[in-house]
A and B are shown apart, each in its own frame.
Chain A
Amino acid sequence: MRVLSLAAWMLWTAAARPEIIDRIAVTVDNQPIAESRVLEELRLTAFLNGAKAEITPEAKRAAADRLVEQTLIYREMQLTQYPPPDPAEVERLLEQVAAPFGSQAAFEQALKDYGIGREALMQALERQAAVLRFIDLRFRPEVQVIEPDIRLYYDTVLVPQFQKQNLKPPSYDEAHSQCEEAVISQRVDERVDSWLAEMKKRTRIRYEEEAFQ
């Protein structure tokens, strides 16, 4: 009886013990990112990558970093009044995500397994569409690619890749547009990275360490 009482008391105290259910994980100037939002990002990324969602301090930190960058981009979009993405585009992305599951039920079950709500996924896809659109409109026009750059990419990246797999590389003319796109993407990446680095310097970003333990 005494043992039972002790067990009941322990259960009760365990149940009554306060537990943190959410908190601020990062702040970007005056915008907070909650720990639940970091976990959601982590699960979404794992879900979309088809990987297991490992909730480790490092993974949480990486998810928080992505959210910080998204926040910076979103803030810039609002300041410069970039148009929001077309809802049809978000629907199309959702269909793309759901397609590999074969059925709606399988898709819903997968979401449940990852602890992701459909609404959260939709919002994530909307954010993603908006960010891609912003990058396309803001940075892509700045990139100018000249013929020698494309040739260099062909000679130093594409051909060695094929040779590594013992395949015959396509001719320069055949691979031209693919190489051009790759070079443009590379340059856009560089610009986005440099812009984000500059924005981070000008922004007060604070990580609350207890949220990453």
Chain B
Amino acid sequence: MARLFFICIAVFISPLGFRAGIAIAAPEDYEGRPIRAIEFEPARQPYSRDYLEKLLPLKLNEPLRLVDVRTAIERLYATGRYANIAVDARFAQAGVILKFTTTPNYFIGHVSVQRVADPPSEGALVNATRLELGTLYTEEGLKQAIQNLEEVLRNNGFYHSRIAPEFEHDPVTQQVRIHFVIDSGERARYTAPEIKGNPGRSVEEILDVTRWKGWLGWKKVTEPRTQEGVQRVRRYYHKRDRLEARVSLESMAYEDGRVQPTLAIEPGPKIRIEVRGAKLSRGKLRQLVPVYEEQSVDRDLLAEGRHNLIEYFESRGYFDAKVAFQTKSLNGGGEELIEYTVDRGQRHTVAAVIISGNKYFDENTIRERMYVRPASLLQYRHGRYSERLMQQDLDAITSLYQSNGFRDVKVTSRVEDGYGGKENHMAVFVEIEEGTQWLVGKLELDGVAEENRESVEGLLQSLPGQPFSELNVAIDRDNVLDWYYNRGYADAQFQWTITPSSEPHRMDIRYTIREGERKFVRDVLIGGLDATDPRLVSERVRLRPGDPLSRASVLETQRQLYELGIFARVDMATQNPQGEETHKYVLLDVEEARKYTVTAGFGAEIAKIGGCRACLEAPAGHTGFSPRAYFGITRRNFRGTGHIISLQSRASTLQQRAVLSYQAPQFRSNPNLNLLFSALYEDSRDVNTFTARRREGSVQVGQKISRASTMLYRFSYRRVSVSDLNISSVELIPFYSQPARIGMLSTNFIQDRRDDPTDSHRGIFNTLDIGWAPAILGSATAFTRLMAHNATYHPIGLGSRFVFARAVTFGWEQRLSGGQDIPLPEKFFAGGAQSHRGFPENQAGPRDPETGFPLGGRALLMNQMEFRYPLLGENLRGVLFADSGNVYSGLNKLSLRVRQHGIQDFDYMVHAVGVGLRYRTPIGPVRLDFAYTINPPRFFGFKGTPEERQAGTGQKTVQRIGNFQFHFSLGQAF
């Protein structure tokens, strides 16, 4: 401070010293002379001449003031576009000519690195440079970037890397593109680690754990491998109850292509945790006592474990549970015993949760916010209660009231045991004293420009007479600031004050807004494009020169570019963020995603899919097993257009399928249109009756009409040949065996308003598919097809825990001309996990009169109803369902009757009821359904081989679909 004080102290010094004076410096000679010209060196400046004239305080033919020159330098520098500025003057034309000599700043544009052997990945190397898009380029920053890259490379075994930056300067935009050329050299290999400390294990044992040495010798050094090795050693000790073990990597010493890691290991004492007074699995104990997770033992963690144990027992109905812990040192300090003593007390049941005192909100509104719940038969057999949950509920209710103006609300709870005269039954009473509702008195809005006032006022919720709460004020603040940020006011600020109004229970509010300077787009600079057509990107940029610099437009641009699916990263930033300039360059920098994606996998299917192709004895299918393999390859961003070419194939004992597709998402730059060409080859036996070989080509245009509604317009041409026919009709065999050609125009409307498509709780889902296959499009048999589906989902009770869901599906096909019948594979086949659970897969509807194999139908009607309910905890749910419907031989045969009139009658409605389990997973519920078919169809089958049937031997038998069916799959039924 002395250095800053000295100016003060100086005033007491004698004025004698002032006589000394100084010589007048040369610049003062120019003071007051008229300015005849202002020049710039170099002539190309970051701004136009007009802009500079407005920016600088120096005016032609006006007297020069040196203080204005200083201001001019400060203003120019404040723009952020100059690294250095000097002003010189010379006498001329009876005045003075000024010249600004400037050095430009450069800003970081696209940063790229030459790919080296992975790891490190290209992205990791670019991130390591820490060169931020749009920020000022400096020598120090570059030096640091190179050091960071070297460190990352060293960590991955590249100890002799050479890094050379290459620059591409754009003097117009002052952007510098930096490419790091990396010669990584050879990757080093590990060698035997040095172990420090007292590990209690041999070096060989530790080495085995690290897996740094394999069958073929020492492995190559990579950062993930090093970290994983250290982590493995840590886990090795923890598994042996050395919870306080300290394992750290001290150094990596390099010599002659070998790296010797040094590990410091202190195993610490053996920690044993025991629970007395209650049974608790080891897994649960690990979950509840955080010393395992934190890998450390201290009093705070042990206390947290005690708290968690109390909560655990409370959640199981032991609301009086008491837990204490103590630590004991055993074996001379080599072992530590942590003993939790549990006194569970009596088990209680929350018989009732009684809410009183609420007038403004109804009871359901309050209960929706509560975790404490009374006991229910299935989900919480003892109810749900703990002190923490109760406090959370009280806070939630208080917050609900406060956000609606009840500033003085008091919410308390009490627990009454022996409720209803029953021992260990308790009631939780929640008592609410609402107090008086506070309203907004006056609202003042300061600092808003007149042209913005109406818009800003329209955003406010805390208007006079409305409930007053800090929450509403916060909402106003967010809305107002969003409005400003989306209009280029990047520095807008919002402050608020409140004062009690003159009227009782009213609060006056004053919002003070500092709008700040509005920023506009100077231009959008796109970087990082390699294979992609620049037009593809520029068409999706929602900012144009002169537009306000809107945050929403930036986000929208990023969203649209990500939606193309061809970019791994889309960064946007303003160039020169600190610079004081109204028009900013917006930088858009992308990293193109990998062009090829290869997927492969194996799986299996267990269902009623069995039965040999040449056998006739199981028309309804046997339970069978079908292994399957998948392979897919996708080429993204084909020729830089953003289009996708994909080949997906699947092979199993039941199906061989390959689809080649060409997809143009955001077709013609319209985010709501997409175009798809596809070619399909399929050889499948998903219907037991026949083997279908399908070759299909199609073109489809998808149009998103609204967020919920989509239209698909499709033309498909397919050729389907059928073999292994298990039907008896001699006259139909030649017809069905002929390859069928179908050229179909179809349109599909999809409306999806479900809250969650994988596990819906509310909403509606409709589809309507209409197809027309006329002869002029190449169809041997002309026909039309209509398929309509409607499903709705209705939550029941609090928190959507119970759901009633229903769905109706209707299908109709009509032959128009051509062949005798609609080709077999084009008919409706249904039944199974997704349509009617009373049938095995594709077993509904008409059947062959002799062999009993399904023949498909020309009409379809299915009705499904489900009641979905919580079963155990949050993840396991139950379902009661009733499916009814069938596939019918024609629309005129569609019937709701429940009895089968004869063994050849399949045109009746089959009903099934059942129960199911749903286990929630991140990719949707895993489903297991058991169905009981009330009126399954009976039919004639054939006992014998096809040869026997042709020879007239063998035996016709009456068969039926079994009453019990099971289905196992992923996702809800509808």
Interface residues of A (CB under 8 A from B): 15-24, 27, 29-32, 34, 36-37, 39, 43-53, 55, 66, 69, 93, 96-97, 99-102, 106, 110, 113-115, 124, 128, 131-132, 135, 139, 185, 188-189, 192, 204, 208
Contact = CB atoms under 8 A, between A and B. Distances in A.
* A-B CB proximity, top 9 nearest: A50-B17, A23-B86, A48-B10, A113-B21, A21-B27, A32-B77, A52-B20, A110-B18, A18-B88
B58 to A, nearest CB: 12
A21 B21 CA distance: 21
A27 B82 CA distance: 11
B92 A115 contact: no
A100 B11 contact: yes
Interface in B1-30: 1-8, 10-22, 24-28, 30
Contacts of B90: 15-19
Interface string B66-91: 10011001100110100011111111
Contacts of A15: 90-91
Given A21-B66, A23-B84, 11 more contacts: A21-B27, A21-B88, A22-B66, A30-B77, A50-B17, A52-B21, A96-B11, A113-B19, A113-B20, A115-B28, A185-B1
Contacts of A22: 27, 66, 69-70, 73, 86-87
Contact of B77 (A27, A96, A115): A27
B27 A36 contact: yes
Interface in B832-865: none
Contacts of A55: 22, 25
- In this complex, the interface size class of chain B, counting residues with CB under 8 Å from chain A, is 35 or more
Contacts of B669: none
B85 A24 contact: yes
B25 A115 contact: yes
Contacts of B21: 52, 113-114
Interface string B872-902: 0000000000000000000000000000000
Contact of A97 (B11, B25, B27, B92): B11
Contact of A18 (B6, B12, B99, B579): B99
Contacts of A93: 8, 11
A132 B1 CA distance: 9
B138 interface: yes
Nearest to B31: A21
A69 B4 CA distance: 9
B66 A23 contact: no
Nearest to A112: B21
B578 interface: yes
A36 B13 contact: no
Contact of A48 (B7, B78, B86): B7
Given A15-B91, A50-B15, A208-B84, A131 B4 contact: yes
Contact of B87 (A23, A97, A101, A106): A23
Instruction: Determine which residue in A50, A66, A106 has the highest number of CB atoms from chain B within 10 A of its CB, and name it.
Output: A50
A30 B27 contact: no
Contact of A50 (B1, B10, B69, B89): B10
Interface in B83-124: 84-92, 98-99
Given A113-B21, A208-B84, A50 B16 contact: yes
Contacts of A29: 578
A189 B578 contact: no
Nearest to A52: B20
Contacts of B74: 32, 34
A69 B7 CA distance: 14
10 contacts: A21-B88, A22-B66, A30-B578, A37-B70, A48-B10, A50-B16, A53-B20, A113-B18, A113-B22, A132-B4
A95 B21 CA distance: 21
B18 A189 contact: no
A132 B8 contact: yes
Contacts of A188: 1
Interface string B784-819: 000000000000000000000000000000000000
B8 A128 contact: yes
Nearest to B28: A115
A17 B29 CA distance: 13
A110 B578 CA distance: 41
A142 to B, nearest CB: 13
A21 B30 contact: yes
Interface of B: 1-8, 10-22, 24-28, 30, 66, 69-70, 73-74, 77-78, 80, 84-92, 98-99, 138, 140, 578-579
Nearest to B99: A18
Contacts of A51: 17, 20
Contacts of A20: 86-88
B446 to A, nearest CB: 17
A30 B77 CA distance: 7
Given A21-B87, A24-B85, A101-B18, A128 B7 contact: yes
A16 B73 contact: no
B4 A49 contact: no
B88 to A, nearest CB: 4
Contacts of B12: 100
Contacts of B87: 20-23
B86 to A, nearest CB: 4
A21 B20 contact: no
A21 B579 CA distance: 25
B99 to A, nearest CB: 6
Contacts of B80: 30
B1 A192 contact: yes
Contacts of A204: 138, 140
Instruction: Determine which residue in A17, A44, A52, A69 has the highest number of CB atoms from chain B within 10 A of its CB, and name it.
Output: A52
Given A114-B22, A189-B2, A23 B73 contact: yes
A100 B66 contact: no
Contact of B10 (A21, A49, A192): A49
Nearest to B92: A16
A100 B86 contact: no
A66 B8 CA distance: 14
A18 B89 contact: yes
B84 A21 contact: no
Contacts of A37: 70
A100 B17 CA distance: 11
Contacts of B4: 69, 128, 131-132, 135, 192
Contacts of B99: 18
B95 to A, nearest CB: 12
A212 to B, nearest CB: 13
B722 to A, nearest CB: 77
B22 A19 contact: no
Contacts of B30: 21
Nearest to B140: A204
Nearest to A62: B3
Nearest to A191: B1
Contacts of B85: 23-24, 32
Nearest to A187: B1
Contacts of A32: 73-74, 77-78, 85
A69 B844 CA distance: 87
Contacts of A48: 7, 10-11, 13
A66 B89 CA distance: 28
Given A22-B70, A192-B1, A110 B89 contact: no
B70 A132 contact: no
A44 B91 CA distance: 29
A18 to B, nearest CB: 4
B85 to A, nearest CB: 5
B22 A50 contact: no
B5 A16 contact: no
B751 to A, nearest CB: 53
A56 to B, nearest CB: 12
B5 A52 contact: no
Given A23-B87, A45-B7, A135-B4, A114 B77 contact: no
Contacts of B6: 49
A152 B17 CA distance: 37
Contacts of B86: 20, 22-24
Contacts of A27: 77
